Amino acid sequence: MSERNPIPLILTGIGSICATVAVLGFYGYLHIAKPEDALLLSNFTMLKTVPGEDYKVSLKPANQVAQCIDGVLVLFDLEQKGLTGVLVDQRKQAVRCMSEEPPAAP
């Protein structure tokens, strides 16, 4: 038996991988995240509401919109199309949410 030259097989494999990555990138299935795409948790503050006490918030809405998806609070950025994220605490645990109804008083 004669030996086969492995170089064409290796080049074909590398070429196939490069072509696959290029096609996925062209059709938008590949997204490389940039540091400026991230929103830091420190940019958000929770205001505790106490019955009978007033609190002030800006009339101008934030550039993010939150939605409850599968019990997790997901933020959508209105300025950067396609930028979404899950709101987490300092331990990287996802902030859970309930249905749109407020919780019942205990």
Domain ranges of the chain: 1-32, 36-101
Angle at 87 between CA 66 and CA 38, to 5 degrees: 100
Tokens found for residue 64 = 């993010």
pLDDT score for 41? 46
Q: Taking residues 39-53, report their average pLDDT.
A: 70
Query: 37-41, 61-65, 102-106 — which one is most confidently predicted on average?
Result: 61-65
Query: 3-7, 34-38, 45-49 — which one is most confidently predicted on average?
Result: 3-7
What rounded mean pLDDT belongs to the chain?
Answer: 79
73 beta partners: 68
> Do 88 and 94 contact (CB within 8 A), yes or no?
yes
Q: Which residue has the higher pLDDT, 42 or 53?
A: 53
Beta strands in the chain (DSSP E): 64-69, 72-77, 84-86
